[in-house]
Amino acid sequence: MEKIAVYPGTFDPVTLGHLDIVERAIPIFDRVIIAVAMDTGGKPTLFSIEERVQMLKDVTKNYPKTEVYGFSGLLITYAQELNACTILRGLRAISDFEHEFQMASINKRLNPSVETLFMMTNESYFFLSSSSVKELAALGCNLKGFVPELIAKKLKERLL
Ligand code: COA
């Protein structure tokens, strides 16, 4: 049976921290499905769902075993539809833990057959978040080392 991982997120926009998680998941799973959420728990987004999906497709186009889709509704239902055995999440710091623990526990209760797997974010990206990247972009900061070049260009076009 194929080992399918779903890597969900808002990805507004994707950062090098997210890509680091995907790259490390590729050798572990048969397929890594990046699932871009339409329902983000009320969090407003700078980029539309179509834009976020397209940006991820562009920056992962040379990655093997990787697919990108948008989804709406419950993550656990989507994971089930994809026959995924694992929900993959990156953990940056202790501050992420409570929120992630809550989400993983709810998802486990909704469907015990899907495991949530946490990967420690590479220490180079511990401090990184999509919000901080947007803030830096709005202030005209160089985003090298934070996001792929294409994403830095998109942020510049949108914010400056
Ligand atoms: N490197 C850098 N940044 C990272 C990162 C990494 N490896 N992993 C996470 N982050 C950052 C993100 O950029 C984001 O930053 P921001 O808050 O500044 O935008 C932050 O961590 C949170 O990540 P995000 O992917 O947006 O997660 P979330 O906690 O908002 O949850 C979903 C997103 C899609 C998983 C969640 O909303 C969901 O499951 N939605 C579907 C509906 C559903 O099933 N709800 C019930 C859930 S129990």
Give domain status of residue 160, yes or no: no
122 touches ligand 1 (CB under 6 Å): no
- What pLDDT sits at residue 41? 85
Give domain status of residue 139, yes or no: no
Strand, helix or coil at 37?
Answer: strand
Q: Whose CA is nearest to atom 8 of ligand 1?
A: 90
Give domain status of residue 140, yes or no: no
User: Measured between alpha carbons, how far is 141 from 49 in angstroms, rounded to an integer?
Assistant: 25
Identity of the highest mean pLDDT range in 9-13, 38-42, 90-94: 9-13
Q: Is the peptide bond before 27 cis (omega within 30 degrees of 0)?
A: no
For ligand 1, what atom is nearest to the CA of residue 75? Answer: 44
For ligand 1, what atom is nearest to the CA of residue 102? Answer: 48
Give domain status of residue 150, yes or no: no
pLDDT in tens, 93-134: 888 899 999 999 999 999 999 999 999 999 999 999 999 999
Give domain status of residue 17, yes or no: yes
Q: Rounded to an integer, what is the distance from CA 101 to the centroid of its chain? A: 17
Give domain status of residue 30, yes or no: yes
User: Measured between alpha carbons, how far is 83 from 36 in angstroms, rounded to an integer?
Assistant: 17
User: Measured between alpha carbons, how far is 13 from 152 in angstroms, rounded to an integer?
Assistant: 9
Domain containing 20 equals: 4-125
CA of 10 to the centre of ligand 1 (A): 5
Does 89 have pLDDT greater than 90? Answer: yes
The answer to whether 12 and 52 have CB atoms below 8 angstroms apart is yes
Domain count within the chain: 1
Give domain status of residue 46, yes or no: yes
Give domain status of residue 90, yes or no: yes
Task: List the CATH number of the domain containing 66.
Answer: 3.40.50.620
**Which pLDDT band, with edges at 50, 70 and 90, does 40 fall under?**
confident
| Mean of per-residue pLDDT scores for the chain | 96
CA of 9 to the centre of ligand 1 (A): 4
Sheet holding 66-71, edge to edge: 66-71, 31-37, 4-9, 86-91, 115-120
Share of the chain above pLDDT 90, in %: 91
